[in-house]
């Protein structure tokens, strides 16, 4: 699977550490390349657009709290980004919402928990059914705007 990966300076260290977990995937790293202060929209929009336009199948975005990247990613049409701080949230984000971008918090979860969350997120399938109807409503709204 081709994965768009990005962070801001606050998520940089976690981004670099979780690359080791993503060795079964082709990772496109949208930056940053160091700890220098930068603005999360600069990397967040580029990576979310790569998922939206089909260049990448899914994405993982990391900032300090996860909130900024969540806001940025969900502005891009076709993106269903989910801020997950537990394995249960990761599972539900895939089963019920077919999330295509996982948002992680660089300052509030450990590397170990991030890897567990990613494992659940990558290995949980979308249930469809009644949940698809809801996603269709979101998609229809995006098309109207």
Place of tokens 């969540």: 70
* HSE value, Cβ hemisphere, 13 Å, CA-based, for 20: 8
Q: Report the alpha-carbon distance of residue 86 to residue 68 in Å, rounded.
A: 18
Q: How many CA atoms lie within 13 A of 10 on its CB side?
A: 16
Sign of the alpha-carbon torsion through 99, 91, 59, 55: negative
Phi–psi pair at 138, nearest 5 degrees:
-65, -45
Please tell me the distance from the alpha carbon of residue 9 to that of residue 32, in angstroms, as a whole number.
7
Structure tokens at 29: 């790293």
Give catalytic residues, as residue numbers.
63, 96
Residue 5: closest CA among 74, 51, 54, 41: 51
């Amino acid at each position: 699977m081709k994965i768009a990966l990005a962070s801001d300076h606050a998520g940089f260290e976690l981004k670099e550490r979780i690359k080791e977990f993503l060795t079964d995937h082709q990772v496109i790293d949208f930056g940053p390349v160091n700890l220098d202060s930068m603005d999360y929209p600069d990397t967040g929009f580029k990576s979310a657009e790569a998922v939206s336009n089909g260049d990448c199948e899914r994405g993982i975005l990391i900032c300090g709290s996860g909130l900024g990247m969540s806001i940025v990613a969900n502005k891009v049409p076709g993106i269903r980004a989910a801020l997950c701080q537990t394995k249960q949230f990761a599972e539900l984000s895939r089963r019920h919402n077919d999330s295509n971008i996982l948002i992680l918090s660089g300052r509030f979860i450990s590397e170990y928990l991030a890897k567990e969350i990613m494992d659940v997120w990558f290995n949980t399938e979308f249930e469809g059914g009644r949940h698809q109807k809801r996603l269709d409503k979101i998609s229809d709204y995006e098309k109207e705007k």
